[in-house]
Amino acid sequence: MPFHRLYTAIKKVTVPLILAGTILVGANYHKQIQKKIVSVEEKINSSSQNFETQIAQSDKKIISLEEKIQGLINEDKSKEYHALNSTVQVTAITQQGRFRVSSGSIIYSKINEQETFDNYVLGVAHSFSGADLASVVSNTAMINVQKYGGVGFDVIAQDSFAGEVVLYSENKGFALIHFESFEQLSAVKIANDSAVENLPIYSKIFTIGSPLGLTLVKTNGELQVKNIQGDKEFWMTTANVYGGNSGGGVYYSSSGELIGVIQSCGVQAINAEIALPVSHISFFTPTIGLREWLNKENFGFIVGGKIEDKK
């Protein structure tokens, strides 16, 4: 057979086979490409779903964190409200008819046999005495009670009561004042002696009192110095206090418990003729020994002692 005829015959057979093979290979390659595309799309969708899930989880964590922060804020406000509503303005009326304004903390409020409520306020002795406790100038006081509420710590109610000093502590400079009311009042929780003794320096504290005889004010600070010895044991804090804050409570910020009673603010000599108050220094007497003193004087019922001790 001539060569050109053989070539033509082979071409007629092989060309269709090559074309068919090419088409088959192309089809298989197209299928593989399609599979890869589908696989990539699935991965993208999976990644997108995972990303959306992560976003949703992050949103939940953020919301949870915000709720926890708000909870802590509300808890702090609750402690502050309780302390505010347990603080009173104490006005001592001297035998000369003069007034001495200080502050105090209600530490007891419970119903009595006459179905009124006995209230006991922890204040300061120097509001009722002269140079020393032996020269008491007054045993009577007006107790102004204010109730706070709302977002801005607004005064929503107030009332005044006649009170009487029933006990003094010469060592601590405390005064215990009694008055009656027709409803139960808010009373602070007193920290345990061991908790007060073990408070570290720089602990966060806050105070509440009636500076200059004005409405009650809360100020924040830190415990700076412990065990300053003088005629009494004093501790020092950076909380701002002024005249009228004496007798106001000092509270441990973390627990909201009463740890001391403000006695005075510090002064700094500028020169031989001028002395200016330093508002960032204040002194207080810790409540260490308060329970022991009240128990000894038969007022232990105030701090959880037997009711039979009540005078």
Span 167-183, pLDDT tens digits: 888 778 899 999 999 99
168: in domain: yes
- Of residues 210 and 138, more confidently modeled: 210
Higher per-residue pLDDT: 254 or 243: 254
- Is the model's pLDDT at 275 over the cut of 50? no
In terms of average pLDDT, the best of 39-53, 132-146, 190-204 is 190-204
Lowest mean pLDDT, pick from 73-82, 85-94, 100-109, 118-127: 73-82
Does residue 112 share a domain with residue 145? yes
What is the per-residue pLDDT for 96? 67
Percent residues over pLDDT 70 in the chain: 61
Whether 154 maps to a domain, the answer reads yes
**174 and 200 in a common domain:** no
Question: Has residue 40 been placed in a domain?
Answer: no
What per-residue confidence (pLDDT) applies to 308? 42
The Cα–Cα gap between 104 and 98 comes to 19
281 and 207 assigned to the same domain: yes
> What's the mean pLDDT in 84-113?
85
Task: Tell whether 9 is covered by a domain.
Answer: no
Look at residues 171, 186, 94 and name the one whose alpha carbon lies nearest to residue 137.
Answer: 94
Same domain? 225 vs 178: no
Q: What is the pLDDT of residue 272?
A: 41
Flag whether pLDDT at 136 surpasses 60: no
- Mean pLDDT along residues 48-53: 68
pLDDT category at 29 given cuts 50, 70, 90 is low
Q: Which domain holds residue 285?
A: 193-292
pLDDT (mean) for 150-160: 69
| Averaged pLDDT score across all residues of the chain | 76
Whether the per-residue pLDDT at 135 is higher than 50: the answer is no
Which region among 25-29, 70-74, 158-162, 238-242 has the lowest average model confidence (pLDDT)? 70-74
Does residue 133 carry a pLDDT above 50? no
Look up residue 235 and give its amino acid.
W
CATH number, domain of 171, equals: 2.40.10.10
Domain annotation covers residue 122: yes
